[in-house]
Structure 1
């Protein structure tokens, strides 16, 4: 019978890797919590119309990349390709937008594309969404919050901030007309992908990776010249706030976001440590999205970061979270009565010391083989039950990490009734 393997682009995350994932996720939860953001968890399947109405029907995501299927009632459903639309839907449906609200989430997203390093068909994002505040100080908050996260993760020197304003829908419409006019006269010089985007999403041409197209854009109209007065003032104020906070950035007039719902501020954190896959975090303002999805007009701003790409960056710059040992205490036992005694003692110890990793040997084996496994587990202490210990009501306690060099005996026998008290004393000494 042939081996069943994971779907291409949907990878297992193995125990050696989850050490870094848990480090990243716990750091994120700590930083976001310190700014007053609360966690929300949304379904991974939504109605297809949610993404068509928010992302835009003529975007690459909706046209090419979504996993869409009919359910048994014929309703079109989609595995979520991004998190903002679902978060907005959840906030509207559950009445969360009656007051300014700060939310964050973490979970898998799905897009059908060619798998490569840092870009998978099932990938994971951490997203942040802030609703109800339209002023640039909230744009500054989400950017400062991401900057603090890079500091905490130890990668601040390996990322840089790029910033732009794409203005209001009215200013973008005027700019789009001017850009299309410029590019139409040079249509044959554009790459094939940009030619296709000319009628569907011409602003995405600004983000083209084709060198010839980028060179052609040097003479194109500038979006900054088409910003309305309010958008220009907001962007100037945001830069003033970032300057005051000491956050370095580069204004990139060609920075646009690939999703239709963005307006005004857009930003990306990019790195040169991952080759072509240089963006590790991106976001911006989307003041019309809540109303677009059926809610009352409520402004919003947020960002998303790719977990896979961030873990690659941590690895690339040498940030290696320490892997915890398999066990702090390893329980060794010989014979049926000893196994029973060890089993009961292990449960009691887990009740008394909930923060400890207490692993009980299973599967039998000789004393030598069990002690080898105890040592390989990384445990500091092995607790040993044999026939003699059970008969005498004792437990043998053996230090596995050269504690005897600190004046402790390498091995001692204690009464089973005094085991918890003895362990408490040893653990307290070890933490000093």
Structure 2
């Protein structure tokens, strides 16, 4: 037997996810964001230039292939790069361009709880957003989504400030000096990051490394006066908006395009992979041959958010239409049953036609397995008189109707 690929899922009940995404969509639309659809794969160069060749995503985790005679293509590991590419390609002029997208992403990671190789994500971007007030309102929108719209309790918001390029360059020198006497003690991955992307050492999960980094200098101690004022301002605005947050100096996010404010929503209910939403301010369009366009964005991991909802017993439900099953008692009534089926469907009634059963008992057994609310029974007498028996499967009550009255009775 051929089994599903490791790190993927077969999901048979989509209603919890559909209900969750519906709430997210309505929240973003309320804040005047528009939904867009983007390709599942892009030029590999798009991700290499935007995310950074030294990031784990580009260097280890992308699904990349080259069609015969074609350029290198990669399944999208995230959607911010694709959104900015679409923004530039369409030559969008009206700013900020406020959009969101929902769909599958792909990363060749080690599967574990809360980590899949194909996973659904909802990403939201405000391209051309310049104001720090817009940053604060963006974070508030997400906080209110989780705390009020979804009524979640077990989560926290962590923030940090990555400053400007100049701030980070100054900090890298300070950090490198701090790490010199510790180089032999840190792991091989961090050894590599020292030369390729030193800020990524803070992403390391090694307890030994984390013990060393706990006393490392903070990026926020290397800020220019202007950056420090902005950092203090965003904290002040979040407090004014009554948003609870923690400052995490080790929070750098895993991608190269971030600057300024970065944030992460996480929950202890998820275990080691605790983050379910993350984002921040970035400038990406200049890396893709566009003009400098400051932006703000975030991504929500739908699978992890569903795990929190389940752990808190707060799964959302979609209102279900009651199913009506049509039961022709013999083959002689199949054509009449087909006609009734089409009339109920055209009346916007959820309907199932049960055929190919050998006995009346098996017909009702099938209707019960379908969890039908009621059944329409069609025998020889019903076809002759154009009357239809509607039986409630829960109470056992039944009554005979004409077709018009049958539709009215079902809809009541």
After TM superposition, list the pairs within 5 Å mapping 1:218-297 onto structure 2: 218-286=214-282, 288-297=283-292
Q: Is the 8 A contact 1:162 1:252 kept in 2?
A: yes
Q: Is the 8 A contact 2:388 2:400 kept in 1?
A: yes
CA distance in 2, matches of 1:224, 1:320: 39
CA distance in 1, matches of 2:157, 2:196: 28
> Could you tell me the TM-score, scaled by structure 1's length?
0.91
Cα deviation code 1:222-281 (max 9, x no counterpart): 211112233222222222221122110001111101100000010000111111111111
SS of alignment partner, residue 394 of structure 2? coil
Q: Quick one: which of 396, 400, 406 aligns to 1:419?
A: 406
1:381 aligns with 2:364: no
Give 1:153 shift: 5.6
Q: Which residue of 1 aligns with 2:91?
A: 95
> Could you tell me the TM-score, scaled by structure 2's length?
0.95
Residues 69 and 310 of structure 1, relative CA distance in 2, 3 Å threshold: same
Q: Is the 8 A contact 1:379 1:400 kept in 2?
A: yes
Q: Which residue of 2 aligns with 1:12?
A: 10
CA distance in 2, matches of 1:148, 1:164: 20
Q: Which residue of 2 aligns with 1:195?
A: 191
CA distance in 2, matches of 1:86, 1:179: 33
CA distance in 1, matches of 2:372, 2:54: 57
Give 1:133 shift: 1.6
Q: Is the 8 A contact 1:328 1:379 kept in 2?
A: yes
- Aligned-CA RMSD value: 1.8
CA distance in 1, matches of 2:226, 2:379: 79
CA distance in 2, matches of 1:225, 1:370: 74
After TM superposition, list the pairs within 5 Å mapping 1:395-410 onto structure 2: 395-402=388-395, 410=397
Unmatched segments (≥5 aa) in structure 2: none
CA distance in 2, matches of 1:339, 1:153: 48
Q: Is the 8 A contact 1:399 1:411 kept in 2?
A: yes
Q: Which residue of 2 aligns with 1:53?
A: 49
Q: Which residue of 2 aligns with 1:318?
A: 313
Cα deviation code 1:195-231 (max 9, x no counterpart): 1211111111123222222222233222111122332
1:391 aligns with 2:391: no
**How many residues are aligned here?**
412
CA distance in 1, matches of 2:314, 2:245: 24
Greater mean deviation of Cα atoms: 78-87 or 234-243: 234-243
Q: Is the 8 A contact 2:20 2:316 kept in 1?
A: no
Q: Quick one: which of 76, 79, 96 aligns to 2:75?
A: 79
After TM superposition, list the pairs within 5 Å mapping 1:355-370 onto structure 2: 356-370=349-363
Greater mean deviation of Cα atoms: 204-213 or 117-126: 204-213
Residues 368 and 36 of structure 1, relative CA distance in 2, 3 Å threshold: same
Cα deviation code 1:64-120 (max 9, x no counterpart): 111111122231111111110011111111233432111111111111121112111
Q: Is the 8 A contact 1:135 1:234 kept in 2?
A: no
SS of alignment partner, residue 273 of structure 1? helix
Q: Quick one: which of 292, 300, 306 aligns to 1:305?
A: 300
